[in-house]
Structure 1
Amino acid sequence: MKIELVYFGRPKEHLKVARETADLPAGTSNLAGVLAWLRTRGDVWAQELADNRVRCAINQEFADLPATIKENDEIAIFSPISGG
């Protein structure tokens, strides 16, 4: 399943990526699974994308970790506290 990932705030700064298209592994069906998969990329990814360190949105609507994702969804990942 392909999705678009968009990073804001601290995750964007520390992971040094603003946007990417990802092809998720089979069986990844919710936000928790997306974050778990991204954490397998290594140390900084595991630290920055811990469940309690980020908030997520699906197609520009806040979503909790159990929220289901589908093909071509845009997943935003950002710090819980963001300036504006």
Structure 2
Amino acid sequence: MIRVLFFAGLREQLGCDRLEAEAADITSIAELRGKLAQKGSNWQSALANEQLQVALNQQLSSMDASLRDGDEVAFFPPVTGG
């Protein structure tokens, strides 16, 4: 299983802070993102942002990073300053 976490505005937009995804049919973060977007229009909208940030096992990562069973993926919106 892949543990998936959502932070900040994504968590509110999705109404979900975490879920688990079956690792057997997901090979990359981009693929995971695509599968999650299929859950409905609010998921598609939330995950469509090209500036979306992602961490793999608590390290910033790119969408093309490979996934393995037991990995943790965290999605969060771009950081804004003020």
* TM-score of the alignment, normalized to the shorter chain, above 0.5: yes
Q: CA RMSD in A?
A: 1.6
Which residue in 1 is equivalent to 2:14?
Answer: 15
Stretch of structure 1 that moved more, 46-55 or 29-38? 46-55
Q: Percent identity?
A: 27
- How far off is 1:54 after superposition? 1.5
- How far off is 1:53 after superposition? 4.3
Secondary structure of the corresponding residue to residue 52 of structure 1 = coil
The 2-side partners of 1:24 and 1:41 are apart by 17
Aligned partners of 1:9 and 1:82 also within 8 Å: no
Aligned partners of 1:24 and 1:34 also within 8 Å: no
Instruction: Select the residue among 22, 47, 50 that pairs with 1:49.
Output: 47
Aligned partners of 2:13 and 2:46 also within 8 Å: yes
| Structure 1 segments (4+ residues) deviating >3 Å | none
The 2-side partners of 1:74 and 1:33 are apart by 14
Deviations 1:20-62 (A, max 9, x none): 1221462x21110000000000100000001514111000000
Secondary structure of the corresponding residue to residue 46 of structure 1 = helix
The 2-side partners of 1:51 and 1:30 are apart by 18
- How far off is 1:82 after superposition? 5.7
Which residue in 1 is equivalent to 2:27?
Answer: 29
Stretch of structure 1 that moved more, 47-56 or 37-46? 47-56
Unpaired runs of at least 5, structure 1 = none
Unpaired runs of at least 5, structure 2 = none
Report the TM-score when normalising by structure 1.
0.87
